[in-house]
Amino acid sequence: MNSCILMAEIIKEPELRYTPDSQTAIASLRVQFPGTKAEDPPASIQVVGWGNLAQEIKDNYKKGDRVIIEGRLTMNTIDRQEGFKEKRAELTVSRIHKVSVDTDFGTPATESTPPSNVVPMGSRRPTAASANNSDVEMSPLDYQEEDETPSFAPAARTITRPTPPVQQDIDDIPF
């Protein structure tokens, strides 16, 4: 199955043209996306939309927009004036979605605020009275909330390695 999802920025204004025979709309634009490594330069690819989607692309998207494009990847062979053939990748759009302006493609999303409706693990501990009664079934009322901030640091571990067994030297030769 040929399916591609790409998050990119439009770097060339969408152009709308029509096929000569059936007057089907074709929108073409160029998008740019970051390389896989931080030191890699950004890459770009030609994007094509057909029919009603082409008209939507022309009407709703412009240079500088950040988008998520869903579609299929194709390779086109082009005869160059220099006398050789060149292969170019092209993404044929099936869906396109605009992304908010504050999304930065170049940096990973490392800082995020936790949702306000989430209780950290370990913030509810049993009270001393209910912890001693192991025969008693505990209810949610037996817990009390504490204002402890959980530590996300890894727990300290001590590594103990087994000592090798001592072997007796049963040989008479001293070397």
Task: For residue range 130-146, list pLDDT tens digits in order.
Answer: 445 445 454 555 444 54
Q: Report residue 124's pLDDT band, with 50, 70 and 90 as the boundaries.
A: low
Q: Mean pLDDT, the chain, as a whole number?
A: 77
* Nearest-angstrom CA–CA distance, 168 and 10: 76
Q: How far apart are the first and last CA of the chain?
A: 69
| Neighbour tally for 96: CB within 10 Å | 21
Q: What percent of the chain has pLDDT over 70?
A: 62
Q: Are 34 and 11 in contact (CB under 8 A)?
A: no
CATH number of 4-98: 2.40.50.140
Q: Which 3 state secondary structure label does DSSP give 162?
A: coil
Task: For residue range 97-111, list pLDDT tens digits in order.
Answer: 998 765 555 544 444
Task: For residue range 47-88, list pLDDT tens digits in order.
Answer: 999 999 999 999 999 999 999 999 999 999 989 899 899 999
- pLDDT at residue 63 in the model: 92
